[in-house]
Structure 1
Amino acid sequence: MEQISSFFHSIGTFIHSKHQQGVYNTVCLAILLGLPVLIFLFSFFICCHCCCCSRQRKDSSSSGPAHGKKRKKKEEDLWISAQPKLLLLEKRASLLV
Structure 2
Amino acid sequence: MEKISSFFNSIWDIISAKHQEGIFNTICLGVLLGLPLLVVLTLLFICCHCCCSRLSKSGQQPERNKRKKKKRKDEEDLWISAQPKLLQLEKRPSLAV
TM-score class, shorter: 0.5 to 0.7
Gaps of 5+ in 2: 83-97
CA distance in 2, matches of 1:32, 1:8: 16
Residues 3-46 of structure 1: CA distance to partner in whole angstroms, max 9, x if unpaired?
11111111111101100000000001111111111111011101
Matched, 1:53 2:53: yes
Distance in 2 (CA, whole Å) between partners of 1:33 and 1:23 is: 15
Give the match's secondary structure for 1:44: helix
- Structure 1 residues 25 and 61, CA, compared in 2 at 3 Å: closer, same or farther? same
Q: Once the 2 structures are TM-superposed, how far is the Cα of residue 2 of structure 1 from its aligned partner?
A: 1.2
* Identity percentage of aligned residues: 45
Residue type of the partner of 1:74?
L
Count of residue correspondences: 75
Match of 1:23 in 2: 23
Counterpart position of 1:38: 38
1:40-71 deviations in whole A, cap 9, x for unaligned? Answer: 10111010110011011111224x25139x8x
Task: State TM-score, norm by structure 2.
Answer: 0.67
Query: Which whole-Å CA distance do the structure 2 matches of 1:55 and 1:4 have between them?
Result: 42
* Cα offsets for 1:58-88 (capped at 9, x unmatched): 11224x25139x8x7222488xxxxxxxxxx
Greater CA radius of gyration, 1 or 2? Answer: 2
| CA gap 1:26/1:76 in 2 versus in 1, 3 angstroms | same
For structure 1, the 5+ residue unaligned runs are: 79-97
Distance 2:27 2:8 in 1: 20
